[in-house]
Structures are given as C-alpha cells and as structure tokens.
Amino acid sequence: MLGEDHSLLKEFPQYKDAILALAETNDDFATMMRDYNSLDKEIRKLEMRDSPISDGEMHQMKHDRAEMKDALHSWARSF
C-alpha cells in the first residue's frame, strides 16, 4: 500500500521494549534505526507524490529498507 508507515516500532510492536533499550544502549543499533526510519519516511513521501524517481531507484530504496529492517529485527529478537 502506498504511503504505508513501516517505522520500526510499528513493524515490531512485540519488540518495543528491546528496541527502545537497544536504541539507548547500542550506538550502532541507534544509528541504523535512525537511518531506517529516515529512509522509510523518504519512501513514504515519494510514494505520496507519485514516486518522482525512477522505478529502479525506488526499488533500491525499498531493498535497502528491507535489509536494514531484517538486521534490526535480528538485533531486537536476540536482545
């Protein structure tokens, strides 16, 4: 769905405590989480403006978001 929020806490509410704790105690996690949420916000903005970038660029952005989400999920799951 276009413009859908994929922020980390929205995607993994069951790991909210772990995500918040990691964001406070692990600089690498916090940096990746900020980057992930920023990229998600940028994708949503582009989708709402009817993607004024190429399909290839949008695909790459969504691929990067998915890779970061998988890494962050793995961190939170093992916390």
What's the average pLDDT block by block, 10 residues per block, for the chain (79 residues)?
A: 85 96 98 97 89 89 97 96
Q: What is the pLDDT of residue 48?
A: 86
Determine, yes or no, domain membership for 39: yes
Determine, yes or no, domain membership for 1: no
Determine, yes or no, domain membership for 41: yes
Residue 57: which domain range?
Answer: 8-78
Determine, yes or no, domain membership for 50: yes
Q: What is the pLDDT of residue 1?
A: 60
Q: What is the pLDDT of residue 70?
A: 98
d(CA 52, CA 63): 18
User: CA distances (Å), 62 to each of 18, 39, 48, in order?
Assistant: 24, 9, 15
Total domain count, the chain: 1
d(CA 69, CA 17): 17
